[in-house]
């Protein structure tokens, strides 16, 4: 409450960056301060800004499982499939962490279910390797490519076998993975 009051009184255009090169929006998103995120967005903070070396506010909210903030940022125009400097999307990040609500929000807003890059596997590969059964089910229901290879990683099936995630192996085999 007190932080929001200080921000309301002291918010001026151009004062978005902190000494560590993150923006106030990135810091609030990473730390789950949804009221402050809303205030910053209402005051005109750019939902898509990425400061040097740091992921966007959407990627940070996805990393820490702050689904309410994910929704707020998407409502204010955050690019759902934007990549950070390591080429990861918010969906890939949330898939690695197992955050169901964030994943559903991102997919509902058009996130690429098969997003991949040279550095990162697809969300399905990531969830399969991590053993996130519910995430695998959601991604398969959204037509994730069960045979995709991304970032130099093996397929989702190979990763599930490697990490001994039997339930995921069965799910993938039922969805024509080979």
33 and 43 fall within a common domain: yes
- Tens of pLDDT, residue by residue over 50-70, are 877 788 999 999 999 999 999
Look at residue 9 and tell me whether its pLDDT is greater than 60: no
CB 81 within 8 A of CB 112: yes
Could you tell me the CATH number of the domain that includes residue 164?
Answer: 1.25.40.20
21 and 61 fall within a common domain: yes
Look at residue 15 and tell me whether its pLDDT is greater than 60: no
3-state secondary structure of 17: strand
Q: For the chain, how long is the longest CA-to-CA vector? A: 58
Last residue of a domain, one of 79, 112, 145: 112
87 and 140 fall within a common domain: no
12 and 95 fall within a common domain: yes
Q: Which domain holds residue 16?
A: 1-112
Q: Per-residue confidence at 20, pLDDT binned at 50, 70, 90?
A: low
60 and 80 fall within a common domain: yes
- Tens of pLDDT, residue by residue over 68-96, are 999 999 999 999 998 876 678 999 999 99
Distances (CA, A) of 12 to 16, 43, 52, 144: 8, 9, 21, 43
Last residue of a domain, one of 55, 87, 112: 112
> What's the structural domain count of the chain?
2
Global confidence as pTM: 0.86
- Under DSSP, the state recorded for 32 is T
Q: What is the pLDDT of residue 98?
A: 97
Please tell me the distance from the alpha carbon of residue 112 to that of residue 142, in angstroms, as a whole number: 10
146 and 108 fall within a common domain: no
Please tell me the distance from the alpha carbon of residue 162 to that of residue 164, in angstroms, as a whole number: 6
């Amino acid at each position: 409450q007190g932080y929001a009051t200080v921000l309301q009184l002291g918010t001026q255009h151009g004062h978005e960056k902190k000494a560590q090169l993150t923006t106030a929006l990135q810091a609030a998103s990473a730390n789950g301060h949804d009221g402050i995120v809303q205030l910053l967005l209402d005051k005109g903070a750019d939902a898509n800004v990425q400061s040097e070396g740091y992921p966007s506010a959407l990627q940070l909210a996805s990393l820490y499982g702050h689904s309410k903030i994910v929704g707020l940022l998407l409502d204010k125009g955050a690019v759902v499939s934007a990549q950070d400097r390591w080429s990861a999307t918010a969906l890939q990040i949330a898939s690695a962490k197992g955050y169901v609500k964030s994943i559903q929000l991102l997919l509902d807003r058009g996130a690429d279910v098969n997003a991949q890059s040279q550095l990162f596997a697809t969300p399905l590969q990531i969830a399969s390797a991590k053993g996130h059964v519910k995430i695998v089910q959601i991604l398969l229901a959204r037509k994730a490519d069960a045979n995709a290879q991304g970032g130099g990683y093996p397929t989702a099936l190979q990763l599930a076998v490697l990490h001994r995630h039997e339930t995921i192996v069965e799910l993938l085999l039922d969805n024509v993975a080979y």
